[in-house]
Amino acid sequence: MSRVTLPTAAGGANHRRVRYVRSIDELAHIPEAERGQLRRVAETYVFRANDYYLELIDWNDPDDPIKQLIIPRVEELSDWGKLDASNEARYTVAQGVQHKYPDTVLLLCNEVCGAYCRYCFRKRLFMDDNDEVTKDVSEGIRYIAAHPEVNNVLLTGGDPLLMSTRRLREIIEALAGIEHVRIIRIGSKMPAFDPFRILHDAELRDLLGRHSSPRQRIYLMAHFDHPRELTDAAVEGLDAYIRLGVICVNQCPLIRGVNDDPEVLGELYRRLSWIGCPPYYLFQGRPTAGNEPYEVPIVRGWDIFREALRHGSGLARRARYCMSHETGKVEISGVDEQYIYLRYHRARDPRLRGRLMLYHRDDNASWLDGLRPAEDTAGLPFGADSLLDVTSGPE
Ligand code: SF4
């Protein structure tokens, strides 16, 4: 078991406790008239932040990316998108349990996050009448134990690292007792919102260090969206996970006003790969209600992604640009003057796995459902047959 020794100087960065901010009225940098409008937005899509994260905002810059990420915008109230844009309800097999791909189960075990990202695709979970999350994961544990094909469990929500260490221990120890579970993934933005979570909790470090082993590995699916989130404390926090034997990777969406700039995304990727938390997925924003101001069209997204990858090392270039569509994970593989080239990276339907797909280029479209399939593939470098099934591996 690896241990992380951390400085313990009282009052040092490692001992900071974040203070949560739940009311727009606490945002003194925003003029009162504007706050009145934002209060209306927060009644629909809840607001939550903390003092550490708010300190990253440059309030003199009206377009500050950290501000765009965390502070509500009036445009969120436009009538656009659905609350469950990729129909997660369809794959819900019990309360808080989603099973879409054979080897992977999601446990939605917490309905709160360290702060609320304005572009969140699961914002429905934070609404009062939602009951998709369960704190009691015993049914999920029984389900996983009864399905030997499940070797990979993702703890998600909400943010699992906002749960108490005691509850995390119960879940991780229950999963550790299931022989066929080989990977436990923790999807979390706490390393960005509150890096002190790991730095000040020796019990949590002990738990992760004990349970991340060659028999069953813990992965942190970190969520950094912008290089400015990589503060000294955040880097120290990531280093703590790595030293515990937790494998760290990063996944984030492409968000208008936050990281839709190849320089910004490239820098994020470079720095993450240097730290040891290389990029894994870049997600196309789902057409989720409230998210219109954060959307980036697919074609523009492709240009940003491709340009961002140009400057990174090989490790920074392993990221894939995907849409988490109801039918599967659809990778955006290329764009030319006429077409958009897509491929099922993962698919619920075995007949779709690995399938290449060709769509007419549409510079305004931001989701698969808005694209028009190309009917005539004659004269293309690959024939229609090769569009149907290519590189599929076992799911
Ligand atoms: S941390 Fe994740 S689940 Fe929580 S608000 Fe942000 S995107 Fe949504």
Tell me the DSSP string of 56-93: T--TT-TT-HHHHHHS--GGGGSS-SBTTTT-GGGGEE
Overall number of domains in the chain: 1
Query: Comparing C-alpha atoms, which of 369, 310, 364, 358 is closest to residue 334?
Result: 358
Ligand 1 atom nearest to CA at 253: 7
The answer to the question of residue 69 being in a domain is yes
Q: Which residue CA neighbors atom 3 of ligand 1 most closely?
A: 158
Instruction: Please write down the HEC assignment for all residues of 111-132.
Output: CCCCCCCCCCCCHHHHCCCCCC
The answer to the question of residue 209 being in a domain is no
Type of residue found at 97: V
Q: Which residue CA neighbors atom 8 of ligand 1 most closely?
A: 120
Ligand 1 atom nearest to CA at 113: 4
**pLDDT digits 0-9 by tens, 309-336:** 997 888 889 999 999 999 999 999 999 9
Ligand 1 atom nearest to CA at 122: 8
Tokens matching residue 326: 């109801």
Please give the residue that has the higher pLDDT: either 16 or 259: 259
Q: How confident is the model over 93-106, as a mean pLDDT?
A: 96
Q: How far is the CA of 139 from the centre of ligand 1 (A)?
A: 24
The span from the CA of 310 to the CA of 298, in Å, is 18
Q: How confident is the model over 133-159, as a mean pLDDT?
A: 95
Report whether pLDDT(155) > 70.
yes
Query: What burial class does residue 24 get, using C-beta atoms within 10 Å of its C-beta: 0-12 exposed, 13-18 middle, 19+ buried?
Result: buried
Tokens 């591996």 — which residue? Answer: 393
Q: How confident is the model over 138-164, as a mean pLDDT?
A: 97
Q: How far is the CA of 273 from the centre of ligand 1 (A)?
A: 22
The answer to the question of residue 42 being in a domain is yes
Q: How far is the CA of 78 from the centre of ligand 1 (A)?
A: 21
Beta strands in the chain, from DSSP E residues, in sequence order: 20-21, 49-50, 92-94, 97-98, 104-110, 152-157, 183-188, 217-222, 247-253, 279-283, 320-325, 328-335, 339-347, 356-360
Residue among 53, 107, 113 whose CB has most ligand 1 atoms within 8 A, to mutate: 113
Q: How far is the CA of 123 from the centre of ligand 1 (A)?
A: 8
SS3 of 178, please? coil
Ligand 1 atom nearest to CA at 193: 1
The span from the CA of 44 to the CA of 313, in Å, is 42
| β 339-347/247-253 pair status | unpaired
Residue among 117, 193, 220 whose CB has most ligand 1 atoms within 8 A, to mutate: 117
pTM: 0.93
Q: How far is the CA of 1 from the centre of ligand 1 (A)?
A: 31
Q: How far is the CA of 49 from the centre of ligand 1 (A)?
A: 12
Residues with Cβ within 6 A of ligand 1? 113, 116-117, 120, 122, 158-159, 189, 223
Domain that holds residue 57: 20-77
- The single-letter DSSP state of residue 192 is H
Q: How far is the CA of 178 from the centre of ligand 1 (A)?
A: 28
Q: How far is the CA of 387 from the centre of ligand 1 (A)?
A: 35
Q: How far is the CA of 55 from the centre of ligand 1 (A)?
A: 19
> Cβ distance 167 to 199 under 8 Å?
no
> Cβ distance 69 to 99 under 8 Å?
no
**pLDDT digits 0-9 by tens, 159-168:** 999 999 999 9
The answer to the question of residue 277 being in a domain is no
Q: Which residue CA neighbors atom 1 of ligand 1 most closely?
A: 189
Exposure string over 326-339, b if 16+ CB within 10 A, otherwise e? bbbbbbbbebeeeb
Ligand 1 atom nearest to CA at 157: 3
Q: Look at 11-15, 21-25, 81-85 and tell me which has the smallest mean pLDDT.
A: 11-15
Element spanning 176, H or E? helix 165-176
* Ramachandran class of 87: left when φ > 0, alpha when ψ lies in -120 to 50, beta otherwise: left
The predicted pLDDT at position 377 comes to: 58
Report whether pLDDT(16) > 50.
yes
The predicted pLDDT at position 5 comes to: 42
The answer to the question of residue 264 being in a domain is no
Ligand 1 atom nearest to CA at 123: 8
The answer to the question of residue 36 being in a domain is yes
C-alpha dist (Å) from residue 196 to 161, 271, 305: 11, 20, 31
Q: How far is the CA of 117 from the centre of ligand 1 (A)?
A: 5
Chain centroid to Cα 313, Å, comes to 22
Q: What are phi and psi of 270, to 5 degrees?
A: -60, -50
Report whether pLDDT(7) > 70.
no
Percent with pLDDT over 70 in the chain? 91
Query: What burial class does residue 291 get, using C-beta atoms within 10 Å of its C-beta: 0-12 exposed, 13-18 middle, 19+ buried?
Result: buried
The predicted pLDDT at position 384 comes to: 42
Q: How confident is the model over 152-158, as a mean pLDDT?
A: 96
SS3 of 233, please? helix
SS3 of 263, please? helix
Tokens 């937790």 — which residue? Answer: 246
